[in-house]
Amino acid sequence: MINILLVEDNHKVRELLGGLLQAQKNLTVAGKAENGLGALRLLQNGLQADVVVADLNMHDMDGIELTEQLMAGYPNLKVIILTMHAKAAFLKRALAAGANGYLLKNGDMNELYQAIAQVYAGQTVIGASVRQ
């Protein structure tokens, strides 16, 4: 079972994604946060996660800054940035911060499910629509 921490500032998107991820037999949504600060609080309070799926643009602490903080304090966590930004500059910043995956929100949900398993297994994943 892979424990997911979902970090997304849009409540509706967070709940929809959380439900879709939870419905997968090999995934558990261990926690949800609306920004990076909330995610760090959950982890500091003992939340156990294997993979963080985080939005790029969020208030208070965005996905890049969260990734940097996670790599400093929780280096065994895997991070997937899930965003609407396909520009190479965002991808480069995310990977430089330590992200293990970068996917677009308009991609197929199966791509996200596979990416979670792949980054959990130690691979780096860049979504097909980002590479185009």
CA 108, chain centre distance (Å)? 15
Alpha-carbon span 41 to 79, nearest angstrom: 16
Q: What is the pLDDT of residues 80-117, one digit of tens each?
A: 999 998 888 999 999 999 999 999 998 889 999 999 99
Task: Report residue 45 as tokens.
Answer: 């309070």
Which domain, by its residues, includes 54?
2-131
pTM of the full structure: 0.95
Sign for the CA dihedral angle at 44, 50, 55, 56 comes to positive
**Tally of domains within the chain:** 1
CB atoms within 10 A of CB 49: 22
CATH of the domain at 66: 3.40.50.2300
130, pLDDT greater than 90:
no
